[in-house]
Structure 1
Amino acid sequence: MSLDLSQRRAKLSPMAIQAPNKALMTTTELEKFVTETFEDPAQVDEASLVRDGYSAKEIFASPGSRGYTFDDLICLPGAIDFGVDDVSLESRITRNIRIHSPFCSSPMDTVTEADMAVGMALQGGVGILHCHCEIEAQVAMVEHVKRFENGFIANPFCMRSDQPIQDLDTLSRDHGISGVPITEDGKIGSRLVGLVEGKLADFVEDRSQPLSSIMLSPSQVTTARHPCTLEEAHAALKSSKSNYLCVLDDEGKLKSLSTRIDLVKNRDFPNQCQDPSTQSLVVGAAIGSAPAEQERAQALVAAGVDIIVVDSRHGDTQEQVDMIQWLKATFPTLEVVGGNVATFSQARNLLEAGVDGLRVGMGVGSISTSQQVKAGGRAQLSAIYHSALLARKYDVPVIADGGIANTGCAIKALTMGASCVMMGSLLAGVEESPGEYYFQDGMRLKRYKGLTVQQVTADPMELGLISGVSGAVVDKGPMRRYVPFLNQSIRHGLQDMGIRSLRDLKSNLYDGTLRFELRSPAAQKEGRVHDLHMHQQRLFSDGK
């Protein structure tokens, strides 16, 4: 028998011909293996015999390729020689912003407001604030996130000594501030005359009394001289056991503030996504693509937003290209995400316009009816793979947006070249999402919807096109427990593939080492819970 394997070996990937002990088979050994295993070795396709699955390129570049989504493919496992905690989830959401968790929250009015954005950043991801509100309201959300944690608070709230205690009550209620520096004119940059902590006013019945009656004197306030490094400030806070450190210049004027609570947050959330220059949490915000949205963008940038997402179900429009180019020309250091796109050509137009991140997915969200109503869109894994293939040449990360029903879907999106996964329904049920819980049929639920897109016309009597539905999602508890479960699921998924990091995942994707298999309907059924009369499913263990 002569199978001429030496000629075919060169066409196979490095993983194609392997013996059980992982050493590459010689041609002679392979011929012997085929002869001993099969009755008619001449009929055996050696490449199919000795290969595990297919590379993504082979699947999507095949002439007979169709649109593939999450249930159509399965990732094949690899050898494990490391622990799950050794898996790194560090990635990028935009060209210049790194994240420690490959997740971001969708800019929907039932998903992301200030609390969600804070929760995402503390867990290593990023929250994208929705724009279905007045500019002032969205700016206030950005300011809330940026003030939540800082290395140095460069523009802290200040008050005058003659202001009544009730003004402190208002500040505490509106902004969650429990203590403020007291300066001569109530502004940063003037001489420090004292400091008020909330506990000093707890039992004062007459709230009209001036702050001077309860404030600490300058000699009682922990201070440091400007300039002061963050390490020096933190050391001073630890040694003094004070809650606040006021940084003063040589004339005793307040330059910045550092707080003990930020030290505690750094300890409790070591992987949070921060601006390295200010230690404030990273936050993104959505805007529309219409020219009128330039005013919103300017206000958001002034408030300190890190990422602007130009939000549109169909991103390949001249209007969005113009907005992206204006943003990059007006704010050169601003990170801009464009989208949504689903094809190679759509992606190219936004990449050429200068985006720093690309949002991929059209008509695949759980509440979207776009494909039914407009017959447009694309299977999500196909969209991610082809868009990421091009975005890689521009060094632009891809954000997979839509269709993420579980962490298995998130892992598959990452295996197709996405750097980050945007979640809507998966996060809509957490405590930090907007809205109140309600009970129905014994289940604790939250409403979930996107503001349905309508074709706005000059004539209010014209019909609008609705391309989404409203629904409800089950309570998922607080972010501090839920997102770590998501992260750990991703780590386990990568470990099962024998991959140590998201960086390695991409390398394996493009060199063909990462292997996949297409699944029949029966295989898809087999991969789910099946053949039980009933079962109970829990998201994660609480240790009991």
Structure 2
Amino acid sequence: MAFPFASAAMDTVTESKMAIAMALQGCIGVLHANCPPQEQVKLVQRVKGYENGFISNPAVMSPTCTVADLDDLKAERNISGVPITEDGSIGSKLVGLCTKRDLDLVDERHEPLSEHMTPVDDLILGREGCSLEEAQEIIKVSKKGYLPIVDAEGNLCALTTRTDLLKTRDFPHSTKDPLTGKLRVAAAVGAGPDDRDRIAMLVEAGVDVLVIDERNGDTTEQIDQVRHIKAKYPKVDVIGGNVVTRSQALALLDAGVDAVRVGMGAGSVSTTQQVRAVGRAQISAVYHVSKLARAYGVPVIADGGIMNTGCGIKALGMGASVLMMGSLLAGTEEAPGEYFYQQGMRLKHYHALTSVESQQNARARDAAMAAAKGTSGVSGVVVDRGSLHRFVPYMAQSVRHGFQDMGVKSLADLHAEVYEGTIRFEVRSPSAQKEGGVHDLHSYSRKLYA
């Protein structure tokens, strides 16, 4: 990850559109689990299929398929063209390519693709084993939109496109697998054994990180789940939590988690500390858990309480390696849900997964059980923040300036200087806090980014 930001696993924050945008911006999105496993798998597949470099399992059709069949496939997969092979499968002999340009002027949609496809002899092909850079150079020189990759016998092995080349240029910091070029994505799962089928399906779909999404991470169920995942899927990273004390984090660290989420009742829509009288000030929790996790070489994620860039910089300074954000991202265009207007303001709905609204959602898993447990969250609205592609660069630049003002070059340097005592925190009085904000003005406008 180029930037230490993650979107929260909430149904009003992260679905495939948000996860794709976060990955393109060099961050990562955590897909919520407030849906059936099959639907969550589809969200993972949309992210993994968005930017591929080499598409190892492209949509393929046979010459006997009709133009109407291709129209249906385009609508379903959001693609503009497909390779045509002898039997309509990957690994079969390539015979042509059918793109939008081939079919734009075709009126009869029931004609076979063989009558309209560009034959293989007229295509520019890449050879099996070529690198992504070599494939992109071929596309650049040939000015073609598609480059099928074939083996020595002419069988289709993979596909890469000009669109992927443009995405690589426009989003140089994107979070993706260096070998496949696919965007990285995380997904939330539960701690119980009944979630193991969901876990297996997500791993098969290609998920990179599993986040055990529980309010209290210090349970026997979660420890068993961590051990199960690490034993069965050692290549998949596991994030445990949530915790707020060293003793809570210790069992997770000993179980082998790859990261720990910190936060209990610190989120803007959480009422945990009011309803259950359990929680901790987020900055204290991050500091103490990070100090322990540092000895294990495990990063900490500050989950909740990130009200603005200043809060984020404080959390990073206290030892966090990643900021997980909910309300800050819920108002962006990429968040699920539609905008609505209220008193002249453009807004979006935002609610906690433990709120009544979320538990009554028809897609909610174990809705009856969740309702019986009671609620510890509220539902509200957030102001429109525009596109994530403008908001994340603003966040990243603010963090850079904060680091610059502290005189540190990187997050690792910041953590080292904090633990060495070179950088220290001071408690500010109410007067100092007032002095540090905007003051002594009749009025002012607050526009944080263009």
TM above 0.5, yes or no, is yes
Indicate whether 1:539 and 2:448 are aligned: yes
Residues 198-277 of structure 1 aligned to structure 2 (within 5 Å): 198-277=100-179
TM-superposed CA distance for 1:199, in Å, is 2.9
Is the 2:60–2:83 Cα contact (8 Å) retained in structure 1?
A: yes
**1:435 is matched by which residue type in structure 2?**
G
The secondary structure found in structure 1 opposite 2:49 is: helix
Match of 1:125 in 2: 27
Indicate whether 1:524 and 2:433 are aligned: yes
Rate the CA distance shift 1:458–1:477 in 2: closer, same or farther, 3 A: closer
The secondary structure found in structure 1 opposite 2:441 is: coil
TM-superposed CA distance for 1:152, in Å, is 1.0
Rate the CA distance shift 1:329–1:193 in 2: closer, same or farther, 3 A: same
Rate the CA distance shift 1:251–1:131 in 2: closer, same or farther, 3 A: same
CA distance in 2: counterparts of 1:176 and 1:459, whole angstroms: 36
Indicate whether 1:346 and 2:255 are aligned: no
Deviations 1:163-192 (A, max 9, x none): 122222222222211111111121111111
The secondary structure found in structure 1 opposite 2:426 is: strand
CA distance in 2: counterparts of 1:401 and 1:462, whole angstroms: 24
Query: Given the alignment, which residue of 364, 371, 379 partners 2:273?
Result: 371
Q: What is the TM-score when the length of structure 1 is the normalising length?
A: 0.79
CA distance in 1: counterparts of 2:444 and 2:69, whole angstroms: 55
CA distance in 2: counterparts of 1:122 and 1:239, whole angstroms: 26
Deviations 1:224-274 (A, max 9, x none): 221212222111111111111111111111111111111111111111111
The secondary structure found in structure 1 opposite 2:148 is: strand
Is the 2:61–2:83 Cα contact (8 Å) retained in structure 1?
A: yes
The secondary structure found in structure 2 opposite 1:196 is: strand
Rate the CA distance shift 1:143–1:460 in 2: closer, same or farther, 3 A: closer
CA distance in 1: counterparts of 2:323 and 2:228, whole angstroms: 26
Which consecutive unaligned segments of at least 5 residues does structure 2 have? 360-364
Match of 2:412 in 1: 503
TM-superposed CA distance for 1:211, in Å, is 1.6
Q: What is the TM-score when the length of structure 2 is the normalising length?
A: 0.95
CA distance in 2: counterparts of 1:290 and 1:381, whole angstroms: 29
Indicate whether 1:104 and 2:13 are aligned: no
Deviations 1:106-128 (A, max 9, x none): 00000000010010011100011
CA distance in 1: counterparts of 2:66 and 2:48, whole angstroms: 27
Q: Identity over aligned residues, as a percent? A: 55
Larger radius of gyration: 1
The secondary structure found in structure 1 opposite 2:144 is: coil
| CA RMSD, Structure 1 to Structure 2 (Å) | 1.8
TM-superposed CA distance for 1:197, in Å, is 1.0
Deviations 1:27-80 (A, max 9, x none): xxxxxxxxxxxxxxxxxxxxxxxxxxxxxxxxxxxxxxxxxxxxxxxxxxxxxx
**2:404 is matched by which residue type in structure 1?**
Q
Match of 2:397 in 1: 488
TM-superposed CA distance for 1:462, in Å, is 8.4
CA distance in 1: counterparts of 2:215 and 2:123, whole angstroms: 53
Match of 1:166 in 2: 68
CA distance in 2: counterparts of 1:450 and 1:101, whole angstroms: 25
**1:513 is matched by which residue type in structure 2?**
T
TM-superposed CA distance for 1:290, in Å, is 1.2
Deviations 1:438-488 (A, max 9, x none): 000100001001222689999979854110000111111111111111110
Rate the CA distance shift 1:458–1:529 in 2: closer, same or farther, 3 A: closer
TM-superposed CA distance for 1:530, in Å, is 2.9
Match of 1:442 in 2: 344
Match of 2:316 in 1: 414
The secondary structure found in structure 2 opposite 1:182 is: strand
Indicate whether 1:279 and 2:188 are aligned: no
Aligned length: 443
**2:201 is matched by which residue type in structure 1?**
A
Which consecutive unaligned segments of at least 5 residues does structure 1 have? 1-98
**1:230 is matched by which residue type in structure 2?**
L
Indicate whether 1:140 and 2:49 are aligned: no
Rate the CA distance shift 1:497–1:460 in 2: closer, same or farther, 3 A: closer
CA distance in 2: counterparts of 1:239 and 1:363, whole angstroms: 55
